[in-house]
Structure formats: C-alpha cells, structure tokens
Amino acid sequence: MRRSRFEIIGEILSLATNGARKTSIVYRANLNFNVVNRYLNLLIQEGLISPAAGSTGKFKITKKGLEFLEAYKNLKTVAKNL
C-alpha cells in the first residue's frame, strides 16, 4: 500500500527531529533522492525544517515543524480509534 503525502512528511519530520542527512532520510524513509529533494524543498519553504546550523548537509526540524508533527500524530491516533 502506498503512503500518503502526510505520512511521508511525518516520517521525514520524525527523522529530522535529532538532525538527519539527506542520505539518511532517503534510506530510513525508503524513498529515492528525487522524491526526498522535492519534500525537503517543500518543508524548507513552509518553515517545517531548516538546514542544521554548523552542520554540512543535515536538516533539523523547526518549532513549527514540531507543532505540525505533534498535530499529525494526534490526528493519526484519533483516526486509528474510529
């Protein structure tokens, strides 16, 4: 079964919580580089992640991203209980 866009975004944000390199995101989220590039660009544009300060190639979730991830997890839990 295919994952939804929100599931992919949630997974990328979860991986970026402690900082993650693009390669790590590709392998751990089971995506290809083209797909990850599109999602990373979208997430940066929306202010949900940012390049980690002082770290080459790492991405870190922002405060807005943490709020989004928390809301996503809550909605996922509610939907599961329906």
Order of all β-strands in the sheet with 20-21: 20-21, 58-61, 49-51
pLDDT of residue 81: 87
With 0.95 as the threshold, say if the pTM is over it: no
pLDDT over threshold 80, residue 56: no
pLDDT of residue 52: 80
The 3-state DSSP composition of the chain as helix, strand, coil percent (nearest 5) reads 65, 10, 25
pLDDT over threshold 70, residue 6: yes
Q: Which domains does the chain have, with CATH numbers?
A: 5-80 (1.10.10.10)
pLDDT over threshold 70, residue 55: no
Q: For 23-50, how does the pLDDT look when each residue is reduced to its tens digit (9 = 90+)?
A: 999 999 999 999 999 999 999 999 999 9
DSSP H or E stretch at residue 61: strand 58-61
pLDDT of residue 1: 78
